[in-house]
Amino acid sequence: MTKRIIVPKEIPTKELHQYIIGTVAPRPIAFVSTVDDHGVENLAPYSFFNAFSSNPPILVFSSNRKVTDNSTKDTLHNVRKTGEAVINMVSYNIVRQMSLASVEFPSEVSEFTKTGLTPVASDLVRPPSVLESPVNMECKVKDIITLGEHGGAGHLIICEVLRIKIAEEVFTNGKLDPHKLDLMGRMGRNYYVRASGAAVMEIYQSVTEIPLGFDGLPAHIRESTVLTGNEIAVLASLLQLPDSAELDRFYDERPDLKNLDNIHKHRVASSLIAEGKAAEALCLLM
């Protein structure tokens, strides 16, 4: 793999911005509602956003100075004045309305009116929540950290979540269902990702039981020219190598696999891993 070297100080901010948003991706989108001190509603998407603590529950998004004219944004002005925000999560069904809200409408124009989204009164803060969003987080702004004075510089807006409202429709058997939540992520340029269906994968990894690790596998498995790094990692996640009794049981059940040559063993192991039969794949490779 040949790697391109990018030195931030040597390239224009606009170009650097694309490298950052195209590689630190996908990012969740905070669809932030605020009000100014006259009560005018504002709604804008921010994908320099994430969760940083569960206790206390802290979300942070960054409102950046515009690269074009170094000006700051309405959301920042509003949270400075009122100390409150609602972070609404963006699902597929509202992604284009979210995009519309990112337009630089004049400050006195409400993006709720422009996007057709419905403001509903929040319980604990003045900014309204977005009715059509599946998740509304009512927040108190704890701190604002200024990261610089030039175009592109962020202001970290540190929010403590006071109340979370989640649509009943996105639960299955009492648990959040990513397919029903159907959240959108922001990538570089105009790219987005839809986090449901085939894009969602489950990876089970116990963090308390100690697995074999790559170094616990025999060299011919670690250095396989057939298995991918991900496939070897599945084997390395097993807790132990099979003992001779397990190997006997395996070949009693699969005598057809006993006399395969090495390459074919690795190919069959790859298929077994894909079928979720990692322990059997490891027996075959031992």
Ligand X SMILES: Cc1cc2nc3c(=O)[nH]c(=O)nc-3n(C[C@H](O)[C@H](O)[C@H](O)COP(=O)(O)O)c2cc1C
Residue 130: Cβ within 10 Å count: 27
Name the residue nearer to ligand X (CB basis): 102 or 237: 102
Structure tokens at 242: 């099979």
CB of 20 to ligand X, least distance (A): 10
Per-position x/- string for 174-193, each x denoting binding to ligand X as judged by CB under 6 A, each - no binding: ------------x-------
Per CB under 6 A, contacts with ligand X among 52-71 are 62-64
* Nearest distance, CB of residue 233 and ligand X, angstroms: 32
CB 192 to ligand X: min, Å: 7
Stretch that binds ligand X, among 10-18, 37-45, 238-246, 275-283 (CB under 6 A): 37-45
> Mask 83-122, x = binds ligand X (CB under 6 A)?
----------------x--x-x------------------
- Binding stretches for ligand X (CB under 6 A): 29, 42, 44-48, 62-64, 73-75, 99, 102, 104, 186
